[in-house]
């Protein structure tokens, strides 16, 4: 799958190194590293940055804005049709049609209105997406995500009323708190709901997230460098 290592770009080399660290963290936790997916978050980065990572064989990518993804990814996908694109940022209901058409996964379902819009669009377009409910585990007023005490009810609403298959939960821990506490909490919530997937862990805390059961890591700057 990978091209010649000697021709590797810095980003592809950093990704390979991250993969090694994930394998070590998984081994330490007694987990299969193949169960841990890296979503390479490409927001603010352009084709020149992304193409070498595609050429190195990576296929899971993430964006946090629908409009930016729409401007960037159709051309890249024409060259690499097996790309799986993840929306990791918030979704507004008026962008749902575009989002469902473009993305293979949405990590940010956090209220009934968005869940309903996604249910309607996936049915209308005949699409099946990997869906996550985002939980605001730190209960930060400025942050997206359903409040922890309302998470069960939202997942139940998706499953029972909307017939929307939820694959897992997602969180972004507060900046100045120990992420392990939030990862452990999200894992516990997912267990209670019988959800298999956990979208958690970013550039600074992905090894910890693996320890607590992450199946999708969302990693940007550790692969592509600082964002402008």
Ligand X SMILES: *Cc1c(COP(=O)(O)O)cnc(C)c1O
Q: Strand, helix or coil at 138?
A: coil
Residue 18 or 158: the one with the smaller Cβ distance to ligand X is 18
Closest C-alpha to 176, from 222, 216, 138: 138
Residue 179 or 220: the one with the smaller Cβ distance to ligand X is 220
Phi, psi of 13 (to 5 degrees): -65, -40
Using Cβ positions, the residue closest to ligand X within the complex turns out to be 220
Residue 7 or 71: the one with the smaller Cβ distance to ligand X is 71
CB of 119 to ligand X, least distance (A): 22
Q: Give the distance, in angstroms, between the CA of residue 170 and the centroid of all CA atoms in the same chain.
A: 8
Residue 59 or 159: the one with the smaller Cβ distance to ligand X is 59
CB of 199 to ligand X, least distance (A): 8
Q: Strand, helix or coil at 217?
A: strand
Residue 3 or 204: the one with the smaller Cβ distance to ligand X is 204
Residue 139 or 161: the one with the smaller Cβ distance to ligand X is 139
Of the CA atoms within 13 Å of residue 147, those in its CB half-sphere come to 4
CB of 105 to ligand X, least distance (A): 12
CB of 214 to ligand X, least distance (A): 12
The alpha-carbon radius of gyration of the chain (Å, integer) is: 17
CB of 136 to ligand X, least distance (A): 12
Give dist(CA 63, CA 106) in Å, integer.
10
Interface residues with ligand X (CB under 6 A)?
41, 43, 64, 88-89, 172, 202-203, 218-222
CB of 178 to ligand X, least distance (A): 16
Bridge partners, 171 (sequence order): none
Alpha-carbon dihedral angle through residues 69, 74, 79, 80, given to the nearest 10 degrees: 60
Residue 187 or 219: the one with the smaller Cβ distance to ligand X is 219
The conformation of residue 174, written as its DSSP 8-state character, comes to: -
C-beta neighbour count of 202 within 10 angstroms: 19
Closest C-alpha to 199, from 169, 154, 173, 166: 169
Give dist(CA 43, CA 149) in Å, integer.
31
CB of 163 to ligand X, least distance (A): 27
């Amino acid at each position: 799958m990978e091209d010649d290592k000697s021709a590797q770009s810095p980003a592809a080399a950093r990704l390979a190194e991250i993969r090694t660290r994930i394998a070590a963290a998984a081994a330490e936790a007694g987990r299969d590293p193949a169960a841990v997916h890296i979503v390479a978050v490409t927001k603010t980065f352009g084709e020149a940055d992304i193409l070498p990572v595609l050429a190195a064989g990576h296929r899971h990518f993430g964006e946090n804005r629908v409009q930016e993804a729409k401007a960037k990814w159709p051309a890249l996908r024409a060259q690499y049709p097996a790309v799986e694109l993840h929306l990791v940022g918030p979704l507004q209901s008026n962008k749902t049609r575009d989002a469902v058409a473009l993305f293979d996964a949405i990590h940010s379902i956090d209220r009934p209105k968005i869940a309903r819009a996604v249910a309607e669009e996936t049915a209308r377009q005949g699409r099946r997406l990997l869906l996550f409910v985002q939980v605001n585990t730190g209960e930060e007023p400025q942050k997206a995500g359903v409040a922890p005490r309302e998470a069960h009810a939202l997942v139940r609403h998706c499953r029972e009323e909307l017939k929307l298959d939820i694959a897992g939960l997602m969180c972004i821990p507060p900046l100045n708190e120990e992420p392990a506490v939030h990862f452990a909490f999200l894992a516990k919530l997912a267990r209670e709901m019988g959800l298999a997937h956990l979208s958690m862990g970013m550039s600074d805390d992905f090894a910890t997230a693996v320890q607590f059961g992450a199946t999708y890591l969302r990693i940007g700057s550790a692969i592509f460098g600082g964002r402008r």
